[in-house]
Chain A
Amino acid sequence: MQASITRLTERPTLWPWLLLTPLALYLAIFFVVPLVDVVVMSFTEPKPTLSNYTHVLTGALYQRVFINTFATALLVTVVCLVVGYPLAYLMTRVSPRSAMLILTLVTMSFWTSFLVRTYAWMVLLGDSGPIIALVRALGVQDPPHLLFTRFSSTLAMVHILAPYMIMNIYSVMRKIDPVLIRSAQSLGAKSGSLFRHVYLPLTAPGIANGSVLVFVICLGFYVTPVLLGSPREQMIAGLIGHQIDEFLAFGLGSAMAVVLLLITLTILTIYHRRFGLDKLWG
């Protein structure tokens, strides 16, 4: 009997390999091969040269799109932090019941489809929407168009990605021992220095997690910038889609996809070395 117990737990067998093989094969064929395909196309379409990369890395249009994408991702991350940090803090300060309500709201936003939230912002920011009406009521004669601008796509992306930031920061904040705060206060720390020297460093892991996640998702964001953004200020993903859909320029599209992939993987690798990738989504 003892033998069968150890058999269940310790026996070094082929079992793990048998269990793992179907998934490993599946991912090798249906995940790795298509990715390799992208890399191959970036060098061979329409003919085998490096010209796709010289275009993508030196062309004025592409450089502008890359810079615009980075700037947008950075802005979205910072605004998510500015919105998300105080909200997470609010959750730690109100009654458990109110905190639960806010958490339910954030969870609901998180689970609601990107498209639904993008559509909602189209209504909110539209020319006959409530925000323009409010601006008119305040006496502005000729309110600016908000829709299809950098402003509208940035705002919607902040709304869509904020739950990632909030959940990451809140999960760190709720574990902070209140004794640490009280002892800092009793040692004479003023509100500002308490925040800077005690609270902020304690919440830094949540900020790092949330920011990396928001930044990386934003770099590859397709739907919202395409639907709400200005056509003159495309982001990388939108331009890739454009190349494939409109021009059937698979080589150029693939080369941009490879560059986007390398940037994303570099950021995640640095993160993985320092913190471990499984923490990011866990």
Chain B
Amino acid sequence: MNRLLLSIGVFAVIFIAAPLVIVVPMSFSNARSLQFPPPGYWLGYYQAYFTDMRWLRPTWNSIIIASGTTVLTMTLVVPATFALVRHRFAGKSFADLMLLMPLAVPHIVMAVGYYSFLGKLGIVQTHLGVIVAHTCLTVPIAFLVLSANLKGFDRTLERAAISLGASPWRTFIHITLPILKPGLIVSALFTFVQSFDETVVAIFISGRDAATLPRKMFDSIRQEADPVIAVVSTLLFLLVLAGIVAPPLWKALRTRMKAPALSSGDFQS
């Protein structure tokens, strides 16, 4: 039993790793179609990506939309999280559940709703429309991360500041916010990434002018499997790699530990 489990486990590691690794050599391939191993290597498709407006514009759109979504989501979620974590009131558990609802609704269902709803508002196929939709979809993630941080907050520090004569506002600015900063950053980062990666709603509502990078990738995989996709995939993959490997490395360098450890905040579940 034990040996069987362990050998399937090793096989599973290869299964998880293989698709992540394969896009990197593909991006240097000079083949016009999907061919692996590549017949030869060059940097032509990198040049194509960085000079082609059909790829750069969606990339820029995605950055604008993810930034807008992050600002709007955090503006709404931060005060609401304080209300839900620090106060008791009638209907609190209902409110807790409602904030998680956007996670429970399949994105294709929301896509149908937004297609018609944003059309009525006249903001379908605009940056604003996608930001409005993505904000709803990212509220639960931002809330979950932030409320976990706020629940672990040691409130005696605030009480100490108040008992030393600080006003509640001053306490909030000088004690609460600095302590909560890492949680706020992680929460905003998760929001940004989720909006940047969101595909289904963007496919249906972003149109031509506000087309996001995932939408462009979806269209080109569907139509012709443009080799530039391998370049975009590699760049996205390297961003993820940097995001995951950099923090523990940095921490290790700072504390001069020999074995870097991933903190539990680095992954979602």
Query: Is A247 close to B, CB under 8 A?
Result: no
Query: Is A70 close to B, CB under 8 A?
Result: no
Interface membership of chain A positions 35-47, coded 1 if the CB is closer than 8 angstroms to chain B and 0 otherwise: 1011001000000
Report which of A113, A265, A277 forms a contact with B236, defined as CB distance below 8 A. Answer: A113
Please tell me if the beta carbons of A100 and B261 are within 8 angstroms of each other in the complex. Answer: yes
Interface membership of chain B positions 145-160, coded 1 if the CB is closer than 8 angstroms to chain A and 0 otherwise: 0001000000100110
Q: Taking the nearest CB of chain B, how far is it from the CB of A245, in angstroms? A: 8
Please tell me if the beta carbons of A119 and B229 are within 8 angstroms of each other in the complex. Answer: yes
Query: In the docked arrangement, what's the CA distance between A85 and B230, Å?
Result: 31
Instruction: Please indicate which of the listed interface residues B9, B36, B230 has the most CB atoms of chain A within 10 Å of its own CB.
Output: B9
Taking A37-B113, A119-B230, A124-B22 as contacts, is the C-beta distance between A5 and B104 under 8 angstroms?
Answer: no
Stretch of A26-34, A48-56, A57-65, A135-143 with 4 or more beta carbons under 8 angstroms from chain B: A26-34
Please tell me if the beta carbons of B139 and A105 are within 8 angstroms of each other in the complex. Answer: no
Taking A82-B8, A90-B5, A111-B243 as contacts, is the C-beta distance between A260 and B109 under 8 angstroms?
Answer: yes
Please tell me if the beta carbons of A277 and B97 are within 8 angstroms of each other in the complex. Answer: yes
Instruction: Please indicate which of the listed interface residues A120, A168, A226 has the most CB atoms of chain B within 10 Å of its own CB.
Output: A120
Q: Taking the nearest CB of chain B, how far is it from the CB of A93, in angstroms? A: 7
Question: Which chain A residues in 86-113 approach chain B with CB under 8 Å?
Answer: 86-91, 93, 96-97, 100, 102-113
Query: In the docked arrangement, what's the CA distance between A16 and B71, Å?
Result: 21
Please tell me if the beta carbons of A237 and B108 are within 8 angstroms of each other in the complex. Answer: yes
Query: In the docked arrangement, what's the CA distance between A256 and B255, Å?
Result: 55
B42 contacts across to A, CB distance below 8 A:
none
Report which of B17, B80, B96, B97 forms a contact with A23, defined as CB distance below 8 A. Answer: B80
Stretch of B43-51, B180-188, B192-200 with 4 or more beta carbons under 8 angstroms from chain A: B192-200
Query: In the docked arrangement, what's the CA distance between A272 and B236, Å?
Result: 35
Query: In the docked arrangement, what's the CA distance between A132 and B106, Å?
Result: 35
Taking A34-B113, A261-B105, A278-B96 as contacts, is the C-beta distance between A19 and B82 under 8 angstroms?
Answer: yes
Query: Is B253 close to A, CB under 8 A?
Result: no
Please tell me if the beta carbons of A244 and B112 are within 8 angstroms of each other in the complex. Answer: yes
Query: Is A76 close to B, CB under 8 A?
Result: no
Interface membership of chain B positions 233-250, coded 1 if the CB is closer than 8 angstroms to chain A and 0 otherwise: 100110011011100000
Question: Which chain B residues in 83-141 approach chain A with CB under 8 Å?
Answer: 83-84, 86-87, 89, 92, 95-118, 132-133, 135-136, 139-140
Query: Is B79 close to A, CB under 8 A?
Result: yes
Report which of A16, A103, A108, A126 forms a contact with B83, defined as CB distance below 8 A. Answer: A16
Please tell me if the beta carbons of B22 and A123 are within 8 angstroms of each other in the complex. Answer: yes
Query: Is A207 close to B, CB under 8 A?
Result: no
Query: Is A202 close to B, CB under 8 A?
Result: no
Instruction: Please indicate which of the listed interface residues B19, B132, B155, B236 has the most CB atoms of chain A within 10 Å of its own CB.
Output: B19
Please tell me if the beta carbons of A223 and B106 are within 8 angstroms of each other in the complex. Answer: no
Query: In the docked arrangement, what's the CA distance between A133 and B268, Å?
Result: 37
Query: Is B20 close to A, CB under 8 A?
Result: yes
Query: Is B257 close to A, CB under 8 A?
Result: no
B155 contacts across to A, CB distance below 8 A:
9
Please tell me if the beta carbons of A35 and B8 are within 8 angstroms of each other in the complex. Answer: no
Query: Is B53 close to A, CB under 8 A?
Result: no
A130 contacts across to B, CB distance below 8 A:
22, 36-37
Query: Is A129 close to B, CB under 8 A?
Result: yes
Please tell me if the beta carbons of B222 and A115 are within 8 angstroms of each other in the complex. Answer: no
Query: Is A151 close to B, CB under 8 A?
Result: no
Interface membership of chain A positions 231-253, coded 1 if the CB is closer than 8 angstroms to chain B and 0 otherwise: 00000110011001100001001
Please tell me if the beta carbons of A126 and B34 are within 8 angstroms of each other in the complex. Answer: yes
B241 contacts across to A, CB distance below 8 A:
108
Interface residues of B (CB under 8 A from A): 1-2, 4-10, 12-13, 15-20, 22-23, 26, 33-37, 75-77, 79-80, 82-84, 86-87, 89, 92, 95-118, 132-133, 135-136, 139-140, 144, 148, 155, 158-159, 162-163, 165, 168, 171, 193, 197, 199-200, 203-204, 214, 217-218, 221-222, 225, 229-230, 232-233, 236-237, 240-241, 243-245, 259-262, 266-269
Give 5 new A-B contacts, CB below 8 A, not counting A113-B236, A281-B140: A35-B109, A86-B7, A103-B267, A253-B112, A261-B106
20 contacts between A and B (CB under 8 A): A8-B168, A20-B84, A26-B76, A27-B99, A27-B139, A30-B135, A34-B117, A38-B116, A83-B8, A100-B260, A104-B245, A126-B34, A126-B35, A162-B15, A222-B107, A226-B222, A240-B112, A257-B112, A258-B109, A281-B103
